[in-house]
Structure 1
Amino acid sequence: MVALAKKKEWSLLLLLAPALLYFLIYHFIPISGMVMAFQDYRIFGKSPFVGFKHFRILFASPAFLQVLRNTLIISFMKIVLFFPLPIIFALMLNEVRSSILRKFIQSTTYLPHFLSWVVIAGIWIAFLSPANGGLNQLREMFKLAPKDYMTDKGAIRWVLFASETWRSLGWDSIIYLAALASISPSLYESADLD
């Protein structure tokens, strides 16, 4: 009986091995790299331990508070302002009756998710270029002076928010669209009657 139980345990451990390897490789081993924050790291040779030296430099920097403030503001924009957009988009997409049009819209909004951030940055830099970017050409049509959005302190947060929204809207809306598709049509009929 004991031998049979041990065989069962080994088979369960064998099933658990891929998940354990995943956590070991991608979660536990990288933790050992955290020691580099406390060293003057060198690729070759011994890296001397310096304690909190790098943290003191970071916190003493005059730009630290501005960087922290920008990080918190951009995170707030992504969490609070972006959160309802995929839900609204999924609700609007759910109301499109033409399945061909719905699939086309869903595919075109879903595709940017597969682009790397380098490609997305290139697209946005080209689009916002002060010399011949699409947005500045539109401004010229309305007799407005060109604006460099990538270096404007007031606009760059909105550029980051817009690029994140453009990349993630289609992907995030799929979850909500799936939830809407699972709603029974009888609930819609009873709502119409009410």
Structure 2
Amino acid sequence: MRQVFGGRLDGSGREASSRRDVNAPRLIAGVLVPHKPIEPDNCCMSGCVNCVWEQYNDDIRDWRKKRNLAAEKLNQTEDIWPKDFDPPLKALDFKNVPRELRSAKRKLGSGKRLSSSAYFPTKGAPGAQNLKASNDEDVDANDDEAWGSVPVHFKVFAETEKRVKAKKLLQKKKQLEQEKAASTASIKASNS
């Protein structure tokens, strides 16, 4: 039988998707980190109410947030991140990186050399201790590793759908507030 929109017409079992991950999460430094979400393969690109790409985008953001939180806590210990669990090399200290991935960590760090003046705070500017934290926040904001091999048009589609839904929700909320204000005004007018 032919599959339409990723449906299961031939009686086969369920397959994992972004929302139905069959892998169990792992506890890393006291944080329950889910597996990296799986790229969906059943999008019809029609702007559905529950778009799988929008859900994937939400799952990726949640995964990245928990993974970075676990890395932050792990950096305060001597433990090593599991090598088979997508280690966030940019967020991990060198001591917490698995041995097999330390050369990759070195390559990431070699591209970012700070000038010596960056370690001396100017009036109102962050010091050396705060400099690393602000750089890590910038990396998280621009981090596209989670979307990896996913074509950029799917990412843009998911983000656009999210903005459209937020705009519609805001319009609906304003309309309800206007209707409530109008009904309150009419009740006051009829009572006086």
Instruction: Report the TM-score, using the length of structure 1 for normalisation.
Output: 0.22
Structure of greater relative contact order (alpha carbons < 8 Å, 6+ residues apart): 1
Structure with greater helix percent:
1
Q: Which has the larger radius of gyration?
A: 1
